[in-house]
Structure 1
Amino acid sequence: MEDRQINPLMKSALEYGPILGFFVAYLWLKDRVFTIGGTEYEGFIVVTALFIPIFLIAMALQWRLTGHLSKMQIVTAVLIVVFGGLSVWLNDERFFKMKPTLIYLLFGGALAVGLMRGQSWLQVVMEGLMPLQPEGWMILTKRVMLLFFALAAANEIIWRTMSTETWVYFKTFGLPLSVFAFFIFQGGLFKAHGIEEDEEETGDAS
């Protein structure tokens, strides 16, 4: 199936809608306890159980509309199903809270392996979005690797030392805003190592 472009608003809705839905549902149900099959479940666990199929449906729609899912999206989906499922099955919210830690450790570790091989695996994923010279990709990859490890550490600290509500705010807003701010502050790198359109055309012509 060929990759297809979809409306950016639709793409954002499919990517962030389930996360925002999780946040709103948590605020609504956080203080409630549900008895299901003789077992009591706190609102967080119930919201997690609802989030998993909604996330998978949104991902399936994105694949149906675009014909493409990134490896990062697939890995994220697997971890959501595994650790969200464990939280629901064992009635233990800690598993779902660990998920961001493992995601960032896996992605950071993958970038580290690539760097040790002298390769920028970030370039393979993002080259179409940010045309950079090879040296620029290596620098950016090192910085993104460190960012992922820092976010993994931050997630561990927050879920282990703070309230569930604080963690939900951090997961919903803190993590995405941290990544957004990180790339905003890479302006100097993009300016120093970016490839201009005329350079790309010259390279293609050769």
Structure 2
Amino acid sequence: MLHGVEGVATILGMRRSSTAVFGLGDRRGEPGHLFWVRVGVEGQLPYDTRVEQRLREASLDWIQPGDVVCCRIDPDDPDRLVLYVPDAEESTRASIAKILSDGRRADATVLAATPVAADYSGRGDPVFRLDLELRSWDEPTPWRVRLVQTVPLSAIGLVDLGKHLEAAFFTVDRGDSVAVDWAASLGED
């Protein structure tokens, strides 16, 4: 944490670890979590790796597939890193649940959908990189965003080119404050 290179990690998948993870000052060896992440460091190409670590339950709400979190990377071993949630004043990204509950509504047209990862246990939903064009009644012009988000298996047919999705957003940006509302898009609301 002190000497690592600062970066960001997109959570591609996660599961509870079956092995004990020892943290600083912790000798109990409580189970942790195994994360599959895509790591981005300024000036370098992104790469995928696995991370096993323990996190507080409060942090787990912010570290779900599709979320982008901070990380510190060992400069001598890029596969050795620690994930963490930034403090509220540092954070530039809101959680998907927060965006969906409090955000403004928009119509999103699918421009491209690329599978990024699947839950490696084979039981979860795949993660997609979505290029979308958003339109909102209170914004003068449409804008394009790119986001990485988990797509429920029941909604896979909705990510085809030209399909319309229900979305929520806080502000016009490149996708940091945008989330697709899969329940609304499937007509489950």
Q: TM-score scaled by structure 1? A: 0.27
Instruction: Name the structure with the higher strand share.
Output: 2
Instruction: Name the structure with the higher helix share.
Output: 1
Larger radius of gyration, structure 1 or 2? 1
